[in-house]
Amino acid sequence: MPALEIPHLQMQALRHEMQAQNLSNTARRLATLRVLDCASPAAACEAAGEVLLEFDLQGPANSLRALASSLCPHFPLFSGIRRIVVRTATAESPVLDRGCRAADTYYEVARYSNHLCQLVWSFSFAGKLDRSLAHDLRGLMLQTGRCLDEDRALGARQGGEQALWAMEVQTADVGEGPAASSLELRALWDEIPQMKPESTNSLAVRLRELLEAARQVAQASSSSSALSVEANDDWGALHVPRNPAEGLIVLQQQTWHTRLAEDRVMQWHQQTLALNARMKQALLPKTELLPPIEELPAEVVQDIFDSVVLDPGQELAERCQVRRAESLALQLEHVLACPSDSLRQALKLGDACIRIAFVEAPEEGEASDVHTVHFQVPAGQDAGRLERKLNSAALVLSRAVARRLLVALAPPLRFVPEEKGSTGTDALAARSQLWRVAKTARRVRVHKAMQSWATTMNW
């Protein structure tokens, strides 16, 4: 990027004079701009590593974000930040001073927590967040929150004690005691906000002595009504009731609100437990008993697996072969049923009606190979005589079939009488060449077996 050449050169020249915070911010800025050349963020991170011990907590967080954003996990600065991050975070933890304002305290705690969150995010994004580091950072965050809670509780308790002192001081001031005691109490009361914490012990002893004297004077007075005075402007209006029943009512109300909040928490907890129990019950496996299933015979299962097509090419070849054989058988039967005059003289069959059972094509052969034709012998005819006549006229029949099919090649034929008991679908299905017939027969057997199984089951 030409626009970044000048800042890059300036940063290279002044990197030894830059502070740790400036170096981390520079590396982060270069990584945010997605500089294609990683030399700039690398140089900034290298210079930051030289002054790593001078970092505050924001420095390691920015450096980590710069390295993680630039996707350069090989920089040696990771190990250096990993070594000093817990020590730096512990040293940078906010000191909760009791004299500070609440707004300043919350700002420091929020800033410190934000830096810890940046560290956790950066280590996690860079893949360097291990179990021990996560445990240490989590402990620092929990310790900060615990210290903040303790500081709030201590401040509330000290505020109550100061309010009690103010009530007693104002009460004693209204009484008919000596003017010197009242003026001294008023002076001490005005000095409380500017007094240092180490002087509170002597102030408490002096206040107790003056208050004891003021009480003795107040007891002699006849004022018994409720007192409502306005305190110093720094502490706001203070209404002091003299009736103890009002304080008990307030205490009961606070107790009731606390118990109500606890009851709501327990109610939510019970609802959560009930929801978890329902979800656990829904995720349990169902124990319903399934109906018994009768296993199919091994022969049926084997037929099902045999019917699965393993080789599509072989399936197409078998289909073509079966169709060729079926077409040849059909044409031969037509020629024998309606022969021409020349063919009738060559056959010399007379009135014999011959039916073609099937044609057996040669296995893995060509169309010029011998095709075996199985024919059915009519009743009252000699099978051997018919076989000799058909084989003698085989060449004439082959040429007639070729003319009907409009092919130039006449396949050689050999006629064989069909054996008895081999007719029917089962006999045809047993022959591997008639693939489609065998597949249909197997499907019929499987469907019959499934129908019988469905009818015998008790649903």
Domain housing 352: 302-453
CATH classification at residue 403: 3.30.300.20
In a domain, 306, yes or no: yes
For tokens 């950066």, name the residue. Answer: 122
Could you list the beta-strand ranges (E) of 249-388.
355-360, 371-376
**Is 230 within a domain?**
yes
Look-up: residue for tokens 């020590």? 87
**Residue 48 within a domain:** yes
d(CA 332, CA 37): 85
The helix-helix angle for 131-174 and 102-125 (nearest 10°) equals 170
137: in domain:
no
- Same domain for 109 and 91, yes or no, is yes
- Choosing from 114, 129, 144, the residue where a domain stops is 129
Is residue 271 situated within a structural domain?
Answer: yes
Three-point CA angle 387, 391, 394, nearest 5°: 135
230 and 309 part of one domain: no
Residue 449 counted as domain residue: yes
Question: Do 56 and 167 lie in a common domain?
Answer: no
Query: Is 144 part of any domain?
Result: no
Instruction: Tell whether 328 and 389 lie within a shared domain.
Output: yes
Q: How many residues does the chain have?
A: 459
* Co-location of 395 and 277 in the same domain: no
pTM of the model: 0.29
- How far apart, in Å, are the Cα atoms of 362 and each of 121, 412, 433? 77, 11, 9
Closest CA to 122 of 59, 61, 55, 70: 61
Q: Is residue 62 part of a domain?
A: yes
Mark whether 429 and 399 lie in a shared domain.
yes
- Cα dihedral across residues 205, 206, 211, 212: positive or negative: positive
Q: What type of residue is 432? A: S
Burial class (CB in 10 A: 0-12, 13-18, 19+), 22: middle
State the CB neighbour count (10 A cutoff) for residue 336.
21
Please give the structure tokens belonging to residue 351: 């009135």
Query: Does 416 share its domain with 373?
Result: yes
User: Chain-centre distance of CA 362, in angstroms?
Assistant: 61
Both 35 and 178 in one domain: the answer is no
Instruction: Please give the pLDDT value at position 225.
Output: 40
What 3-state class would DSSP assign to 238? strand
Q: Are residues 17 and 47 in the same domain?
A: yes
Q: Which residues, in sequence order, are bridge partners of residue 238?
A: 229
Residues 308 and 447 grouped into a single domain = yes
| Each residue's pLDDT expressed in tens, for the chain with a length of 459 residues | 444 444 555 555 555 555 555 556 665 655 555 444 445 555 555 555 555 544 556 666 666 666 665 545 566 666 667 777 777 777 776 766 555 556 667 777 777 777 777 777 777 777 777 888 888 888 887 887 777 777 665 555 555 445 444 544 444 444 444 444 555 655 655 565 555 555 556 666 666 676 666 666 656 554 444 333 333 444 334 444 455 556 667 777 788 888 888 888 888 988 989 999 999 888 888 777 777 888 888 888 888 877 776 677 777 877 787 888 888 888 888 888 888 877 777 777 777 778 888 888 776 656 677 888 888 888 777 888 888 888 888 888 888 888 888 877 788 888 888 876 554 445 444 554 455 666 777 777 777 777 776 666 655
Termini Cα distance of the chain: 78
Q: Are residues 103 and 158 in the same domain?
A: no
Q: Helix, strand or coil for residue 308?
A: coil
User: What is the number of domains present in the chain?
Assistant: 4
Domain identity same for 272 and 352: no
112-115 long-range contacts, Cβ below 8 Å, gap at least 24? 112/57, 112/144, 113/141, 113/144, 115/57, 115/58, 115/61, 115/89
